[in-house]
Amino acid sequence: MMLDVKDLRVSFTRERLPPVEVVHGVSFSVARGEVLGIVGESGSGKSVISLTMIGLLPGTAQATGQVMFEGRDILRLPERDLCKLRGNRIGMIFQEPMTALNPAMRVGAQIAEGMILNKGLSRKAARAETLRLLDMVQISRASERIDSFPHEMSGGQRQRVGIAIALASNPDLLIADEPTTALDVTVQAEILNILDDLVTDLGISLILVSHDLGVIARIADRTLVMCQGEEMEQGATEDILRRPSHAYTRQLLDAMPRRARASLEEGA
């Protein structure tokens, strides 16, 4: 397994109050080339789990258990090694591209920055690689867009830039935290298709985090259902769609529009 998480617990300290645990003993694994979907409502702990995977929890958080990435426990790595891991092995696509991107920096420079710092590429070579990545994530007129600022791009284009930044390190594992939030359904489908193509073409693993079971069902091989920091169930996405074993999963399915649910079940 590329990633093996065992009994993960995350708690936050509070001033003059006892710590509060928000993730309660969650375990899962991700194989090479596999897509794992983590689904649950707001406050279910899914985004906290994704931040734990790359060591970006705030200082008030404490994580216990094991997060083994190719034999190394991420929870016990020093910060220097964590930075190398984030820069070279694990990529992250954040939820809101407008806040994740630097508004005062051209998007091409933001994509190239990691390649210059982590790979030692020259600015000329990094710019050429940036153009290739922009083409890969299907940004039209990449040679023009490379010098745009984030505010000059649509939400879907900004999210594509976020994906390109995550890919710049040639990661083995990509974590996408709500990558289609606030996008219309057409752009949402385009982003999911890009992620699916990346897994197929590059052989990377993907953790897709979403509150929308319909989004997860489109590309996930396996699904982990979360509620209030606990695992409700996990298994093959097809089995969860057709034979959910937990009442909460059935509620997520019931919350979907009837036609959308029927379409998913037919395609599962």
Q: What integer is the mean pLDDT of 80-104?
A: 88
pLDDT at 86: 85
- H-only helix segments in 203-257: 213-219, 237-242, 247-254
Of 127, 149, 170, which residue constitutes the final position of a domain? 170
Q: What integer is the mean pLDDT of 55-61?
A: 93
Q: Which residues pair with residue 209 across a beta bridge?
A: 38, 177
Give a yes or no: residue 40 inside a domain.
yes
Residues 224, 196 share a domain? yes
Of 121, 155, 170, which residue constitutes the final position of a domain? 170
| Chain-centroid distance, C-alpha 164 | 13
Q: Which of 151, 148, 116 is nearest to 134 (CA)?
A: 148
The Cα–Cα gap between 261 and 268 comes to 10
pLDDT at 194: 93
Under 8 Å between Cβ of 119 and 168: no
Q: Which residues pair with residue 227 across a beta bridge?
A: 230
Residues 192, 256 share a domain? yes
The Cα–Cα gap between 67 and 5 comes to 5
Q: What integer is the mean pLDDT of 108-133?
A: 94
CATH number assigned to the domain comprising residue 181: 3.40.50.300
What's the total number of domains in the chain? 2
Residues 186, 132 share a domain? no
pLDDT at 257: 77
Lowest mean pLDDT among 33-37, 166-170, 201-205, 253-257: 253-257
pLDDT at 225: 98
Model-wide pTM > 0.85: yes
The Cα–Cα gap between 59 and 28 comes to 25
Q: Where does the pLDDT of residue 95 fall: very low under 50, low under 70, confident under 90, or very high at 90 and above?
A: confident
Residues 81, 107 share a domain? no
Of 170, 205, 234, which residue constitutes the final position of a domain? 170
Residues 141, 107 share a domain? yes
pLDDT at 50: 95
Give a yes or no: residue 63 inside a domain.
no
Q: What integer is the mean pLDDT of 95-118?
A: 90
Judging by beta carbons within 10 Å of its beta carbon (0-12, 13-18, 19+), is residue 257 exposed, middle or buried?
A: exposed
6: pLDDT strictly greater than 90: yes
The Cα–Cα gap between 131 and 112 comes to 10
pLDDT at 94: 87
Give a yes or no: residue 249 inside a domain.
yes
185: pLDDT strictly greater than 90: no
Give a yes or no: residue 203 inside a domain.
yes
Give a yes or no: residue 84 inside a domain.
yes
131: pLDDT strictly greater than 80: yes
Residues 182, 219 share a domain? yes
| Chain-centroid distance, C-alpha 251 | 24
Give a yes or no: residue 68 inside a domain.
no
The Cα–Cα gap between 206 and 61 comes to 25
Residue range(s) defining the domain that contains residue 160: 95-170
Q: Where does the pLDDT of residue 263 fall: very low under 50, low under 70, confident under 90, or very high at 90 and above?
A: low
Residues 42, 106 share a domain? no
Residues 231, 210 share a domain? yes
